[in-house]
Amino acid sequence: MKNILIDAGPLIALFNRNDKYHNKIKDFLKTFSGKLITTWPVITEVSHMLDFNIQTQIDFLTWINLGAVNIENIDNNDITRIIELSKKYSDVPMDLADGSLVALSEKINIKEIITIDSDYYIYRTINKEMLENIFDYR
């Protein structure tokens, strides 16, 4: 089973029926056979963006609790790397959630991501590698 990073956008779309990517991410995940990996900053961002409905937030957290997503912790070394990335990509800009995913990709050697964020075509790991977006959202 393959481990894949997942960004906030697809998760928000999955739990927001009005999101234009809702059906695409739902269909994608029906056939996806890997393990979804993310960070607490991503979970926080998703929860914040789903604040239009407390039941939707609860549904999202329940889905995570059922094992749908593995949440990796970030530590002080990761924060140092996120600061470096944030400075490097300050013109984009890179937010905490995006920085945490790039840092995590370096830490646990995952090179693929599910995202609707075009900034990932700009971001590079410490080895100058781009994360491959395996989600065709267009």
At residue 1, the pLDDT reads 79
At residue 86, the pLDDT reads 96
At residue 136, the pLDDT reads 82
3-133: CATH topology is Rossmann fold (3.40.50)
Low-confidence ranges of the chain (pLDDT < 50): none
* Three-class SS of the chain: CCEEEECHHHHHHHHCCCCCCHHHHHHHHHHCCCEEEEEHHHHHHHHHHCCCCHHHHHHHHHHHHCCCEEEECCCHHHHHHHHHHHHHCCCCCCCHHHHHHHHHHHHHCCCEEECCCHHHHCCCCCCCCCCEECCCCC
At residue 91, the pLDDT reads 93
> Domain boundaries in the chain?
3-133
Global pTM reads: 0.94
